[in-house]
Amino acid sequence: MNLSNAKQRFRNLIQERKRKPLTTMLYDLWRLFYSDKSLPYHYFLKFLYRPHITAIGNYLSMKQETEIMNKSRQDTPDIIDKVASNKLFFHFYARKSEVPVPSLIGWNLQDDYFKFNHGEISPLSPKQFEEQIKKTITTGMKVFYKPVSGMGGAGCGRITEENIDGLDFSDMIDSDFIFETEVSQHKSINQIYDKSLNTIRFITFYDREQDEFMLLAALMRFGAKSQRVDNISKGGLFVPIHQEKGILKKYGYTHLHYSGDQREFHPDSGFRFKNFKIPFYREARQLIENNISLFPGVLLGWDIGIAPHGPVLLELNSLPGLMGADIGYGGLKSHPQFNLIQNYLTKS
């Protein structure tokens, strides 16, 4: 935890209107220190000082998170890291395996542009590539571009009829981008927020040796403040999902730097989260279960969009952070299958 984050967490605590009495917080901290044998930074990181959180022992300490991440990193095949970290590699791997992914238009590797059409790859100049994008847009589709390598929504953008004339594709030659047709979002999700594709982040655990699989957590992420991406680092928020029922839980949470607010309604639309039934949720879960053998990472984050016709796998993230999952689940140590992770950690 760096100094900037520490200061932000302290400010959040001071500004928090609802927090436990000081004596209760001190007692909580002592209990966690005694049980975990480590400094309980997570008490502040995961907002355990809020009055409604009583089962503080169900949450992973930073020491425990680090232990899980380190062993998972050690046991994850290199190919999975490469597939997850390179969006172009991921697209071809998933497409070859007949996993539903967005339609690929093309990509650039600095000043080299390529068109992809029905399995054929054709090199293009920046101007020719721009014309190809315009041709796609005239059919009524929108285009979404993102860095081949990157995370957190940085460098992503949307190309429409309204903004394409202001874009200069030659400006992209300092980096590598992938261009896809934008996934149309299911109309019921648009009721909550319609300016971004709001994705489900599933976090899975998979022990290849024991062939044991578990869905660790499921969160739905929403854009906000007119942002075109749903990343919470861009001002969005996440809402935990009831894993068996496929409905949203009561509260959504903003990023730490947006005060880590807890909200019952979407800040833009005013839509109440509680009990919203996610369309094609069962199919989204089944997509993961059907393809876990293709992506046998120990800890994976699956980003899935819900289109009118069903789920679409957008990205794969190797070794996703567990903090949001821990907060959203109400403490991952209370997960009925958490013993699988405990057994995994005790193996040599």
103-117, 155-169, 180-194, range with the lowest pLDDT: 155-169
Say if residue 293 is in the same domain as residue 270.
yes
* One domain, residues 215 and 264: yes
Q: Which residue has the higher pLDDT, 52 or 15?
A: 52
Model pLDDT, residue 277: 98
Q: Tell whether the model's pLDDT for residue 2 goes beyond 80.
A: no
- If asked whether residues 53 and 72 sit together in one domain, one would say no
Q: Does 65 share its domain with 122?
A: no
Q: Is 220 a residue whose pLDDT tops 80?
A: yes
CATH of the domain at 141: 3.30.1490
- Taking the CB of residue 256, how many other CB atoms lie within 10 A of it? 18
Query: Do residues 37 and 74 both lie within one domain?
Result: no
Shared domain check, 152 and 297: no
Quickly state the pLDDT bin for 152 (edges 50, 70, 90): low
Task: Give the tens place of pLDDT for each residue, 252-284.
Answer: 998 766 567 889 999 999 999 999 999 999 999
Compute the average pLDDT of residues 190-208.
95
State the average pLDDT for the chain.
90
| Residue 155 pLDDT class (50, 70, 90 cuts) | confident
Cα distances (Å, whole numbers) of residue 307 to 42, 105, 144, 302, 312: 36, 18, 15, 16, 7
- Average the pLDDT over 92-100 and give the result: 94
| DSSP label of 242 | E
Return the pLDDT at 257.
Answer: 60
Q: What is the CATH number of the domain that holds 255?
A: 3.30.470.20
| 45 and 192 fall within a common domain | no
What is the DSSP annotation of 7-44? HHHHHHHHH-SS---HHHHHHHHHHHHHHHSS--THHH
**pLDDT band at residue 140 under the 50/70/90 scheme:** confident
Using CA atoms, how far apart are residues 266 and 190, in angstroms rounded to an integer?
Answer: 12
Residues 68 and 214 in one domain: yes
Boundary residue ending a domain (157, 181, 205): 181
Question: How many structural domains does the chain have?
Answer: 3
Residue 82, C-beta contacts closer than 8 angstroms, at least 6 positions apart: 89
**Window from 138-152, 159-173, 296-310 with minimum mean pLDDT:** 159-173
79 in helix, strand or coil? helix
Task: Count Cβ atoms within 10 A of the Cβ of residue 126 and give its class: 0-12 exposed, 13-18 middle, 19 or more buried.
Answer: middle
Question: For residue 237, what pLDDT band results from cuts at 50, 70 and 90?
Answer: very high
- Asked whether residue 326 carries a pLDDT value surpassing 90, the answer given is yes
The whole-number pLDDT of residue 230 equals 77
| pLDDT confidence band for 150 (50 / 70 / 90) | confident
CA–CA distance, 200 with 152 (Å, rounded to integer): 15
Query: What pLDDT shows up at residue 154?
Result: 74
* Same domain, yes or no: 159 and 272: no
pLDDT at 171 over 90: no
Going by the DSSP 8-state scheme, the letter that residue 298 receives in this structure is S
Last residue of one domain, picked from the residues 154, 181, 208: 181
Same domain, 199 and 170: no
Mean pLDDT of the 52-81 span: 94
Q: Which of 164, 181, 198 is the last residue of a domain?
A: 181
User: Are 144 and 102 a contacting pair, CB within 8 Å?
Assistant: yes
How far apart CA 57 and CA 194 sit, in angstroms, is 38
Query: Domain residues for 149?
Result: 104-181
Mean of the pLDDT values across residues 104-122? 93
Same domain, residue pair 177 and 206 = no
pLDDT confidence of residue 260: 73
174 lies in the same domain as 258: no
pLDDT at residue 174 in the model: 79
Q: Report in angstroms the alpha-carbon separations of 170 from 104, 110, 178, 344.
A: 20, 9, 14, 49
Integer angstrom CA distances of residue 228 from 157, 196, 198, 212, 231: 8, 4, 10, 37, 9
User: What pLDDT does 100 receive?
Assistant: 96
